[in-house]
Amino acid sequence: MTYTVGVTGGIGSGKSTVADLFAELGIVVVDADVIAREVVAPGEPVLDAIGAYFGPEVIAADGSLNRALMRERIFENAAYRHWLEALLHPLIRERMITECQNARSAYCLLVVPLLVENKLTDLCQRVLVVDVAESTQIARTTQRDNIAAAQVEAMMATQASREQRLHAADDVLDNNDRELTQIKAAVLQLHQQYLALSGA
Contacting positions for ligand ATP (CB under 6 A) = 9, 11-17, 113, 140, 144, 175, 178, 183
CB of 20 to ligand ATP, least distance (A): 8
Query: How many C-beta neighbours within 10 Å does residue 185 have?
Result: 12
Shorter beta-carbon distance to ligand ATP: residue 17 or 193: 17
Contact 128, 38 (CB under 8 A): no
Annotated binding-site ranges for ATP = 12-17
Contact 3, 106 (CB under 8 A): yes
Shorter beta-carbon distance to ligand ATP: residue 147 or 200: 147
CB of 191 to ligand ATP, least distance (A): 18
| Pairwise CA distance, residues 157 & 142, whole Å | 15
CB of 131 to ligand ATP, least distance (A): 11
Contact 107, 200 (CB under 8 A): yes
| Pairwise CA distance, residues 3 & 19, whole Å | 16
Shorter beta-carbon distance to ligand ATP: residue 46 or 114: 114
